[in-house]
Structure 1
Amino acid sequence: MTDNSSSVFDLAPLAAASHGGNNDPRLPKPRYVGCPQNASRMPYTKYIAYDKQVPFEYPQRTWPDKKLQRAPRWCSVDLRDGNQSLVNPMDSERKLRFWNLLVSMGYKEIEVGFPSASETDYDFIRMLIERELIPDDVTIAVLTQAREHLIRKTYEALRGCKRAIVHFYNSTSVLQREVVFRKGKDGIKQLAVDAAKLCKELEAEELAGAGRGIDISYEYSPESFTGTEPAYALEVCDAVTDIIQPTPEHPMIINIPATVEMTTPNVFADQIEFLDQNLARRDSIVLSLHPHNDEGMAVAATELALLAGADRVEGCLFGNGERTGNVDLCTVGLNLLVQGIDPQIDFSNLHEVRKVVEYCNQIRLSERHPYIGNFVFTAFSGSHQDAIKKGMEARELAAAQQNADLDSFLWQVPYLPIDPKDVGGTYEAVIRVNSQSGKGGMAYLLKVNHNLDLPKRLQVEFDKVVQRYADETKREVKDEDIWRLFKDEYLPAEEAGKHAALADTDTAAGAGEGAPLGVNGQRLEQWGRYRLLGANIMSDESGSDTVIKVKIQDNGASAAGAAGAATGSAGSVRTGAKDPVVRTLSGVGNGPIAAFVNAISVLGVTVSVLDYAEHALSAGGDAVAASYVECQVGDEPETQIIWGVGIDSSITTSSLKAILSAVNRTLR
């Protein structure tokens, strides 16, 4: 070790005296509700604050006042940094599949390997070149340490390539200078300078030997930048550019790796702005970022560093990479999209991208991974579901009022920062119901998947059924569960299976043809004492009232009561009788509903209609309508307020069925 290096372990006494970071007299007293937190037994004296390791102040920062306005230049390092971090590195087939994916998404710079360190990488690069698999608008990058034999091997791998980036690096951090390389600042800088000189020599040899040669650009990384004094990193980078001599027409890349994330994103942004403002030949330099995610802030660090002047970002799809991974290019790109900025990368089929990445990396993504996890567009909370439902409806209405295309109309929906369709998703998984959900989720699923737009009070009533089921099963209530619960609660079995819009039949061997199924696949039990068989509606002689004549099947009357059927007498009642009785009833009222209520009163049923709603379920020749009727059934003190639902091709008949649905539910 040289004389001008200092021991990082001299900081040990300072770390031991930190008192867990609470020894600054300027700190205000802790504020809290209830009892104070206790000191932990975690070994905090083993660690020391970043500003003690790498002292740096940049009060002249301007980046906090800036806004992101355009996409950076992207470079995927999946095939190199991502690949080297895998338990089972990709074989050639997986690498080629990943390469094709990156090209199809629009990446113009792709780091394809470390040819001097891996025979597999070397062979893959040769395959890309010899099979002419590199599009004219795509530039490959290859990585090498700043060591002579490795650099020479790298140029050998590039023979015949039209255009490439040679990316060389050496570590510059205080810790690695001292404990790994045992060199001082001058020695570490000389490694970088010597590598740059060799690169230029080999470029000249290639140009002389091949006539046209390779169009080579250069990239230099002061590895472990976050553990390096920024002023020293600047010194090394300037020394390298002094050798390479980039121009505005042929710039080089200075890549700043947060090889290990060691501090907060704002400090990293300060360091990037310092370089942006002080690098020699800045107009000939592409200032690049290579953030890692050790402290979970790589995306934030990237976005703030872009504000601070960076031009380019290296990372991996979905954040693969050493340890906790590189910055996630998909998340950063889609974060730009939701700010109205074109990411210049195609994320429109993100689910297919996920399939390829999971196959090639042999690593499953988290259920909560931003933009692509299975749950990221899913709301279980009742209040969230209600807000999403209302937001969707409000957006549809606004688009219709402005005569705008809904798919491209302004996206403003609570809890959903992006339209799932824009990344190849659907709305099917947006609302999912469990015991924590409210009526909004259930109502949304019925409307979106089954075209049933339940009135608010009916939503409240049916939600109790769904919640009871969720509490009993202690699991997620899927859409098919909700649908079967609804049919079992409001629609007699024969009615639930009658219309194509409602059919949910079992095709298994032994199942009754067209018989609808109940919750968990069991057959819906026949229920409902009264069933409407037909209705004839006309006006009376004065034209002021409606006369109705209906046929109703009574599944609860005994055969002895049949004699009274013709006269409308209720006869004796015996629920559960084997032989149903068909009754013909008549009534008069100021409309079909009032006339029907009067007609069924002879059955001993007292009904008052409190609320009514209806809408079409489908259009065309097979149009079906749904009616929802809130009824007060029975006499005081045993009266019930209850909803009924009816489905029929006739809107009038559907309303009559809805009234019978309510009556039947009181008798069930």
Structure 2
Amino acid sequence: MPYHRYRPVHERVQVPLTERTWPTRRLTEAPLWAPVDLRDGNQALAEPMDPGRKRRMFDLLTGMGFKEIEVGYPSSSQLDFDFVRHLATPGVVPEDVTVVVFTPARRDLIERTFASIEGMSRVVVHLYTATAPTWRNVVLGQDRPALRTMIRDAAAHLARLAGDRDIRFQFSPEVFNLTEPDYVLEICNDLTALWDASPDRPVIHNLPATVEVATPNVYADQIEYMHRHLDRRDAVILSVHPHNDRGTGVACAELAVLAGAQRGEGCLFGNGERTGNVDLVTLALNLHAQGVDPMIDLSDIDEVRRVVEHCNRLPVPERHPYAGDLVHTAFSGTHQDAIKKGLAHHAKRAADLGVPPEQAPWEVPYLPIDPADVGRDYQAVIRVNSQSGKGGIAYLLHTRYGLELPRRLQIDFASVVQRATDGSGEEITAEQLWQLFHATYLAPGEIGALAGWNTVETGPGAHEFTGTLRDGRRLSGAGNGPLSALTAALAADGIDVDILHYAEHALDPGRGSRAIAYVEARVNGTTCWGAAQDTSVLTASVHAVLAAVHRII
């Protein structure tokens, strides 16, 4: 591959920062969030949102608690213009929500943008221009002084059109991460002064990694340089807008906040041009997983995902962090066993603390957050295929069917499941597990049960078993309990049975409930398991022994 065609980032842009402080900082609060799904996300769609989908996305964002939302690029299309005009309808935008509209640095497009927000309050007008050398030289045909003048003129036009209305300003030097730091600083400081930014009317300087080109630490250094050197720092909201070209958009955003950024732009589930914008859902839930309030509501993540998939007409991948169908799911046997034990420990810990499980501290292996925090249940946490072990299989049978398999039976059934799934490699559902368990351990006792049987206590510690086989032969035996009497009767008929392990439990609460019995027996020298269920514990026990016998005989 022709790797020699590319230059490392430090040869393309200088970062004049030597004494960085961001590596020693911690994330202790959420930044200001600014979702751009309706503008940056929408322009990346093969089929842009129609008005109905746009409104549904807007309602989702406000319902989740976002307070600043970029709603469109009104000078780019009539559809975007009309949607902004729709938002100008009284009562559509909640009183505590600010809308952001996006415009290039061209007078005619700026004027069209202001026409779209006529009559609206709490608006941010977002001015952008690409500033990196390649864009200046190839796309815009402007040198540094000429482009700086063009941006100042556009910013002054914004200020004139805004007058004394409730409008604030935002500037994005597009491709900030490949622009000379001193040049970006000059332009941003120009606009801070021109717009007369103050702490009660701050300007937003949004610094995009429009095309991700370096490791996240480089972006963090660039942000910290700006954070330290911006004029009127208390009158500037330092914002970031990472893309995900290298797959590290989330890391770029998190390190940028450590470096001094106060605001983050992105999209739900990372939609956007090329490989997408930074994912606000992942950023928010990363904070949640560190004990920091993300300040947005993701308690029903599946509903959020459904709306986003509907509006974008793009699926959220099954392995997407926090939201994918499989992210809280374990197929591996060792992982399943650890999760099963972890969930049991969590329930006990909650009981010991006297609090509901959803309020107890969360420390469960392989699950960074409690799936219930985002509206998921535990039914899909453990799923079974050919790689799964006894813990996951036992967990599914317990949660769905109430079975409490003895440990050695878990091991035995795991090998049965593996044989059943090895051929196809496909996942096996809880229902299929139950069917396989029934066919393996219960059905032999049901099919080959005695035509009739009886057991009586003939004296202290003395029991007698009598029965009739389906071919008419009679069985009879005595022992110190019903099952020992049964094995004696079988021995008299030439079947040597030694019960190695016995367990039983109720399947349902209350009197008259079903019970299930599990028996591990050595039958004519071969060890196997049998099981049976009945409202009578004794009947279940006898049939479990017979199930083990009929699996061998």
Q: Please give the alpha-carbon distance, in whole angstroms, between the structure 2 residues aligned to 1:129 and 1:229.
A: 39
Unmatched tracts of structure 1, length 5 or more: 1-41, 208-213, 496-526, 569-584
CA contact (8 A) 1:631 1:643 kept: yes
Q: Say if 1:68 and 1:306, in contact at 8 Å, map to a contact too.
A: yes
Which whole-Å deviations, capped at 9, do the CAs of 1:66-86 have from their partners, x for residues lacking one? 111111110110000001111
Offset at 1:117? 1.5
Query: Is 1:588 aligned to 2:479, yes or no?
Result: yes
Structure 1 position 653, deviation (Å): 3.2
SS of residue matched to 1:322:
coil
2:535 equivalent to 1:649: yes
Task: Find the aligned partners of 1:98 and 1:223 in 2 and give their Cα distance.
Answer: 25
Deviations 1:56-108 (A, max 9, x none): 24221111111111111101100000011111111101101111111111111
Amino acid at match of 2:463: V
Q: Greater RCO between the two (CA within 8 Å, min separation 6)? A: 2
- Residue type matched to 2:196 in 1? Q
Whether the 8 Å CA contact 1:535–1:653 is kept in 2: the answer is no
Conserved in 2, the CA contact under 8 Å of 1:433 and 1:477? yes
Query: Counterpart of 1:623 in 2: which secondary structure?
Result: coil
Secondary structure in 1 matching 2:503: strand
Contact 1:76 1:110 in 2 (8 A): yes
Residue aligning to 2:469: 554
For residues 26-60 of structure 1, the C-alpha deviation after alignment (integer angstroms, 9 at most, x for no partner) is xxxxxxxxxxxxxxxx0111110000000224221
Distance, in Å, in 2 between the alignment partners of 1:345 and 1:250 is 24
Compared with structure 1, are the counterparts of its residues 601 and 215 closer, same or farther at alpha carbon in structure 2 (3 Å cutoff)?
A: same
- Which has the larger Rg? 1
Q: 2:386: which partner in 1?
A: 435
Match in the other structure for 1:519: none
Change (3 A) 1:197 1:182: same
The CA RMSD over aligned residues, in Å, is 1.8
Q: In structure 2, the residue corresponding to 1:222 is in which secondary structure?
A: strand
Q: Is the alpha carbon distance of 1:390 and 1:98 closer, same or farther for their aligned partners in structure 2, counting shifts above 3 Å?
A: same
Following superposition, the deviation at residue 156 of structure 1 comes to: 1.1
Equivalent residue of 1:288, what SS?
strand
1:137-174 CA-to-partner distances (Å, cap 9, x unmatched) read 11100000111111111111111112111111111111
What one-letter code is carried by the residue in structure 2 that aligns with 1:271? Q
- Give the aligned residue type for 1:63: W
Per the TM alignment, residue 472 of structure 1 is displaced from its structure 2 partner at its CA by 2.8
CA distance in 2, matches of 1:623, 1:401: 29
Q: Can you list the C-alpha shifts for 1:391-427, whole angstroms capped at 9, x where unaligned? A: 2222222222323211222222222212222222222
Q: Secondary structure of 1:491's match?
A: helix
Q: Which amino acid aligns with 1:602?
A: A
Which residue of 1 is the match for residue 4 of structure 2? 45
Distance 1:288 1:476, change over 3 A: same
Partner of 1:509: none
Q: 1:142 to 1:417 in 2, by over 3 A?
A: same
| 8 Å CA contact 1:532, 1:657 repeated in 2 | no
Name the residue aligned to 1:330.
281
Cα distance change of structure 1 residues 295 and 659 upon mapping to structure 2, 3 Å threshold: same
1:191-202 aligned at under 5 Å gives the runs 191-202=150-161
- 1:279 and 2:238 matched: no
Residue pairs, 1:70-469, within 5 angstroms: 70-204=29-163, 207=164, 214-469=165-420
Give the structure-1-normalised TM-score. 0.80
Aligned to 1:88, the other structure's residue is in SS state coil
Task: Say whether the 8 Å CA contact 2:477–2:487 is kept in structure 1.
Answer: no
- Return the letter of the residue paired with 1:92: P
Question: Shift of residue 486 of structure 1?
Answer: 0.4
Distance 1:188 1:321 in 2: 27
Return the offset for 1:203.
1.5
Offset of 1:131 from its aligned partner? 4.8
Q: Deviations over 1:531-589 (max 9, x none)?
A: 4856545461xx3x142445x4523x2x5x4xxx3xx4xxxxxxxxxxxxxxxx45331
Once residues 444 and 462 of structure 1 are traced to their aligned partners in structure 2, the CA distance between those partners, rounded to angstroms, is 13
TM-score for the superposition, normalised by structure 2: 0.96
CA contact (8 A) 2:530 2:544 kept: yes
Letter paired with 1:233 = V
Q: Secondary structure at the match of 2:205?
A: strand
| Counterpart Cα distance in 1 of 2:249 and 2:433 | 41
Contact 2:128–2:171 at 8 Å: present in 1 too?
Answer: yes
Q: CA deviation at 1:435?
A: 1.9
CA contact (8 A) 1:105 1:346 kept: yes
Identity of aligned residues (%): 47
Contact (CA 8 Å) 1:80, 1:113: kept in 2 or not? Answer: yes
User: What SS is found at the alignment partner of 2:60?
Assistant: helix
One-letter code of the match for 2:391? G
Retained in 2: the 8 A contact 1:386–1:439?
Answer: yes
Q: Is the 8 A contact 1:588 1:599 kept in 2?
A: no
Q: 1:414 to 1:422 in 2, by over 3 A?
A: same
Distance 1:106 1:609, change over 3 A: same
Q: Quote the Cα distance in structure 1 between the aligned partners of 2:5 and 2:60.
A: 44
Contact 1:165-1:218 within 8 A present in 2 as well: yes
> Once the 2 structures are TM-superposed, how far is the Cα of residue 494 of structure 1 from its aligned partner?
8.6
Instruction: Check if 1:666 corresponds to 2:552.
Output: yes
**Partners of 1:630 and 1:644 within 8 A in 2:** yes
> Matched residues in 2 for 1:553 and 1:124: separation?
82
Q: Does residue 629 of the first structure (1) align with residue 523 of the second (2)?
A: no
Q: Mark the runs of 5 or more structure 2 residues left unpaired by the alignment.
A: none
